[in-house]
Amino acid sequence: MTAAGPPLTLTDGIAEVVVRPDLGGGLAAYDLLVSGTRRRLFRRAPAATADPFALACNPLLPWSNRISSGGFRFAGRLHPLAANWPGEVCPLHGNGFLSPWQLADHAADAATLRLHSDGPGPFRYSAELCYRLDQGALAMRLTVRHRGAGRLPYGLGFHPWLVRSAATTLRAPAQAVWLEDARHLPERCVPVAQRPEWDFTAPRRLPDGWINNGFVRWDGGAEIAWPDRGLALAIDTRAEAAVASALSAYIVYSPGSEADFFCFEPVSHPVDAHNLAGQPGLFVLAPGDSATVQARFIPAARHRDVTIR
């Protein structure tokens, strides 16, 4: 196992990803290669960036999004957590996306990264992050193992930053959506039918204005389409038996139609789940227990009568 190093490029001849072990184990690019042309699926990060929020994808652990109230209670004990990002009052996305990961193994089309973390707060864990390309499809798998004393609730997910064009559509059937307050924390959960402009049961264009909302009771399947670019990207987070747990929630973030990106984040739990009743979607792990989640991104493109699926 080698220390975090420079960017690592993986390719299977149909797609290419750039891995940044040094920058939170994230991705700097995910491109489709078709008939000699390069087509971006995720946005491409500047080559020398040191900003994890400029990347193409971030791993989320040991939780996703914000935790309010300076921490959370579990099993009768208060666990304080400090803010971890400039301008943010709440601790955001854990610490995996801020930590250098070690490169454990790699081949031309795959890489495995590992992280050993003592913190933040009560979290003591080891993690493994695997990326693999197969016929253009990108598989991500994230495992966390609890090393601390006593049981603790963990959350996991992935944070891709996708290309947004004027015609981009999203299909991601969910039954309910959390409305956010001014602090970007959950206010109340309502049926998606009450917000028809956010009902992605069928392909729908992204809203023109701000969206930063968590959707729940999702079946784990989605599709993003760029009809103006001749591209589509299927997403599948459904579990394989005895291998992974399903990601049954997602967050859609976009500052508006003027942006050239949007985020579709498959996650295990709603925002601030640690402080919601029942702590929904979190993995309660005893010492030595682990949880694994996965996501597959499957592109399709038509270019000069050549179809890649």
Task: Select from 2.70.98.10, 1.10.1530.10, 3.90.1560.10, 3.40.50.261 the CATH code of 8-308.
Answer: 2.70.98.10
Higher pLDDT, 238 or 161: 161
pLDDT 10s digits, 254-293: 999 999 999 999 999 999 999 999 999 999 999 999 999 9
Q: Can you read off the two tokens belonging to residue 232?
A: 């589509």
DSSP string, 147-187: -SSS-EEE--EEEEEEE--TT-EEE--EEEEEEE-TTS-EE
Residues contacting 124, CB < 8 A, separation 6+: 117, 118, 146, 147, 148
Residue 89 DSSP class: S
pTM of the model as a whole:
0.95
What is the pLDDT at residue 304? 37
| Whole-number Å distance between alpha carbons of 193 and 252 | 17
For residue 216, what are the β-bridge partners?
Answer: 176, 249
| Whole-number Å distance between alpha carbons of 31 and 20 | 15
Kindly tell me if the per-residue pLDDT of 30 is higher than 60.
Answer: yes
What is the pLDDT at residue 306? 35
pLDDT 10s digits, 93-115: 999 999 999 999 999 999 999 99
What is the pLDDT at residue 239? 75
What is the pLDDT at residue 243? 65
Considering just the CA atoms, what is the radius of gyration of the chain in Å?
19
Q: Can you read off the two tokens belonging to residue 7?
A: 């960017």
Rounded-to-5 percentages of helix, strand, coil across the chain? 5, 50, 45
Q: Can you read off the two tokens belonging to residue 142?
A: 């994230």
Q: Can you read off the two tokens belonging to residue 235?
A: 């997403």
Kindly tell me if the per-residue pLDDT of 90 is higher than 60.
Answer: yes
Query: What is the CB neighbour count within 10 angstroms for residue 143?
Result: 20
Kindly tell me if the per-residue pLDDT of 253 is higher than 50.
Answer: yes
Query: What is the CB neighbour count within 10 angstroms for residue 78?
Result: 11
What is the pLDDT at residue 308? 41
What is the pLDDT at residue 1? 65
* Spatial CA neighbour of 221 closest among 138, 295, 155: 295
Q: State the average pLDDT for the chain.
A: 94
| Whole-number Å distance between alpha carbons of 139 and 134 | 8
pLDDT 10s digits, 182-196: 999 999 999 999 999
What is the pLDDT at residue 2? 67
Q: Where are the domains of the chain?
A: 8-308
What is the pLDDT at residue 183? 95
Q: Can you read off the two tokens belonging to residue 219?
A: 């079946």
Burial letters for 93-115: b for 16+ Cβ neighbours within 10 Å, e otherwise?
A: bbbbbebebbbeebeebbbbbbb
Kindly tell me if the per-residue pLDDT of 303 is higher than 60.
Answer: no
For residue 127, what are the β-bridge partners?
Answer: 115, 144
Averaged pLDDT for residues 206-232: 96
| Whole-number Å distance between alpha carbons of 170 and 204 | 5
Residue 198 DSSP class: G
Check the CA dihedral 186-244-291-299 and report its sign: negative
